[in-house]
Amino acid sequence: MELSGQSITITGGAGLVGSHLAARLAADNSVLVADDLSKGKRDRVPEDVAFEQADMTTASDVSRVITEETDMVFHFAAYTDTNYANPRQLFEENTEMTYNVLERMDEVGVDNIAFTSSSTIYGEAPRPTPEDYAPLEPISEYGASKLADEALVSTYAHSHGMTAWVYRFANIVGPNQRGNVIPDFVEKLDDNPDELEILGDGRQEKSYLYVEDCVDAMCHVVEHADATLNTYNLGTRTTTSVTTIADIVSDEMGLEPEYQYTGGDRGWTGDVPKMRLSIEKLSALGWHPPTASDDAVRRAARELIDEITG
């Protein structure tokens, strides 16, 4: 599909990836960002992009932002915290949002949807994990909700005439981000430069993809994959351990703190301690990550240190 001259709605578009995608698409398309601002920030949305404060669990709000004039929906809206305090709410409302979006699209004849899933659907799978790995056994309610969402998207692609692009994200990092390991370390060290608490044993090791690279990969997949249902891992071929992230953040802040590990092989219940996605399918489509995982972490760390401590 050509991402030019389209009318595009981005749900959850005031978040990290959605706001960067909106900026990327705005030059050649009519873009509407819909976000309830429960986590996203209004000032992240570019000035030349239309904005509606809308809750995807509310049918009337969904109807306002997806209309007969819409050509495509990028669906980001979701609770994204794998350690969310109310896991039942996370599961029920994530799937409700996706179902509402798909039903509305079907009602008004919008045939193209891009959905942001997650590496958490794989659970503790062998690495690198390809898209056709089975069985899919998530270990968190967040992962379970994303797997349920994928099933809904698949149903509407195969039985309701839609074309769908599904992205299984690695860890996406960049500016304005909060609530993950990099800003957490920056905030802790800003508060106490001499000591840093690290959840788990620090050996957790995952793939980190810089947000602009992520957006570039997303657009490439839409423009070059044309099956009814197109599922792609988005990540890097390299990984970064939690202790290495601590080293990078400390180095960028000019500090040498003492690390205090909480113990165990994971940071919290449902945390997948080691993850690396296979991106061979993505590479075969012609896209290769320009930034290694460590470099993505370092770039994000520099930006977040300026934001948080500046």
- Tell me the average pLDDT of the chain: 96
Asked whether residue 287 is assigned to any structural domain, the reply reads no
Indicate yes or no: pTM above 0.85: yes
* One domain, residues 194 and 139: no
Q: Which residues pair with 129 in a beta bridge?
A: 277
Span 7-31, pLDDT tens digits: 999 999 999 999 999 999 999 999 9
Lowest mean pLDDT across 58-62, 257-261, 306-310: 306-310
In this structure, the answer to whether residues 74 and 202 fall within a common structural domain is: no
Predicted confidence (pLDDT) per residue in 107-142, tens digit: 999 999 999 999 999 999 999 999 999 999 999 999
Query: Both 136 and 60 in a single domain?
Result: yes
Q: What confidence category does residue 286 fall into, taking pLDDT thresholds of 50, 70 and 90? A: very high
pLDDT (mean) for 25-45: 96
* Segment among 159-163, 174-178, 224-228, 284-288 with least mean pLDDT: 174-178
Domain count of the chain? 2
286 within some domain:
no
Indicate whether 180 and 79 sit together in one domain. no
Is 254 part of a structural domain of the chain?
A: yes
Do 144 and 94 share a structural domain? Answer: yes
Q: Do 24 and 145 belong together in one domain?
A: yes
Whether residues 214 and 253 fall in one domain = no
Q: Are residues 47 and 72 part of one domain?
A: yes
Range of the domain at 229: 7-171+209-234
Residue 147 scores a pLDDT above 90:
yes
Same domain flag for 122 and 227: yes
CA distance 16 to 216: 14
In this structure, is the dihedral angle defined by the CA atoms of residues 79, 81, 85 and 88, taken in order, positive or negative? positive
CA 297 to chain centre: 15
Clarify whether residues 121 and 105 are in a common domain: yes
Nearest to 105, CA basis, from 74, 138, 133, 128: 74
SS3 of 268-292 = CCCCCCECCECCHHHHHCCCCCCCC
- 């079907």: which residue's tokens? 106
Residues 270 and 142 in one domain: no
Q: What is the CATH number of the domain that holds 187?
A: 3.90.25.10
C-alpha to C-alpha distance for 158 and 21, rounded to whole angstroms: 26
